[in-house]
């Protein structure tokens, strides 16, 4: 039943698929978290003039399926003469979708901080950059972390959608192998286990982060 695993062609498909999924998900997690932090800090500024635009983006990105965004880049860009490789195109679509969620989590993280914290930091004469770096951001993360970590797992899962726009990641590898071997159950169970390895890695990071907080 697991004979297909010994086939070097299938094994290398799986290895490359796993590596692509891992790198794709890691890139999207890092990029969407950095962008979300920048936007969340921006929204904290009373003078944020593009506030409405950022909020409209967030609403749009959360109302539309990630798959529609991926199709938009995949079918839409070539129509206007822009040719992106499948992977950068998938990264762009997934980052667009996940940044909005991370932004919402960080926004409520910042809102949960007692106003006295900011005032006290200012009263100590700290520069605004230090107020954020040392006082506000760590507290926002303390309350947003569980949601951000579970969104990271959503991103790992969402990366499977890239297989529908021509990225040869883990799910694409599994459909190729299933199409050739007809061994849907063992192949997909094995691939599911590989996804759980990555999700397990995220949970391990979360555990380490939460232990450090205590």
Partner 1 sequence: MFELALAWLPRFLAAAALTIALSAAIFAISGLVGLALALATHETKSAAPRRALEAFSGLFRAVPELVVLFFVFFGGLQIGLDLGPIGATLVAFGLVGIAYDFQVFKGALAAVAPGQFEAGRALGFGRLKLYTIVVLPQMLPIARKGWLTYAIGTVKRVSIASAVSVSEIMYVTKQAIAATNAPFLFLSIAVALYIAVVAPLLAFNERRA
66 binds partner 1 (CB under 8 A): yes
Under rule CB under 8 A, residue 35 binds partner 1: no
Residues 110-169 that bind partner 1 (CB under 8 A): 153, 156-161, 163-164
**Pairwise CA distance, residues 140 & 137, whole Å:** 5
Interface with partner 1 (CB under 8 A), residue from 23, 35, 48, 188: 188
- Residue 17 is a binding residue for partner 1 (CB under 8 A): no
**What is the dihedral angle through the alpha carbons of 202, 203, 206, 212, rounded to the nearest 10 degrees?**
-120
For residue 203, the surrounding DSSP H or E stretch is helix 184-213
Distance (Å, whole) CA 214 – CA 211:
5
CB of 193 to partner 1, least distance (A): 9
Closest by alpha carbon to 96, among 24, 37, 187, 35?
A: 35
Nearest alpha-carbon partner for 159 in 48, 20, 62, 55: 20
Min separation Cβ 102 and partner 1, Å: 15
- Closest CB to partner 1 among 55 and 142? 55
The two three-digit tokens of residue 170, written as one number: 């883990």
Binding positions for partner 1, rule: CB under 8 A: 59-60, 62-68, 71-72, 75-76, 79, 153, 156-161, 163-164, 171, 174-175, 178, 182-185, 188-189, 191-192, 195-196, 199-200
């Amino acid at each position: 039943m697991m004979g297909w695993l010994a086939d070097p062609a299938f094994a290398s498909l799986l290895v490359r698929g796993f590596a692509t999924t891992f790198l794709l998900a890691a890139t999207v997690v890092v990029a969407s978290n950095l962008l979300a932090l920048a936007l969340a800090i921006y929204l904290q500024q009373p003078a944020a003039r593009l506030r409405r635009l950022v909020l409209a983006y967030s609403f749009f990105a959360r109302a539309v399926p990630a798959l529609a965004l991926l199709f938009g880049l995949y079918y839409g860009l070539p129509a206007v003469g822009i040719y992106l490789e499948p992977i950068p195109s998938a990264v762009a679509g997934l980052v667009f979708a996940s940044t909005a969620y991370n932004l919402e989590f960080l926004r409520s993280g910042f809102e949960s901080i007692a106003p006295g914290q900011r005032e006290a930091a200012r009263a100590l004469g700290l520069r605004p950059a230090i107020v954020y770096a040392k006082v506000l951001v760590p507290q926002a993360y303390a309350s947003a972390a569980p949601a951000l970590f579970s969104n990271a797992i959503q991103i790992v899962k969402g990366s499977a959608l890239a297989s529908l726009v021509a990225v040869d990641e883990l799910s694409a590898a599994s459909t190729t192998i299933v199409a050739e071997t007809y061994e849907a159950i063992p192949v997909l169970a094995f691939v599911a286990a590989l996804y759980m390895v990555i999700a397990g890695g995220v949970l391990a990071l979360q555990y380490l982060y939460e232990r450090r907080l205590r």
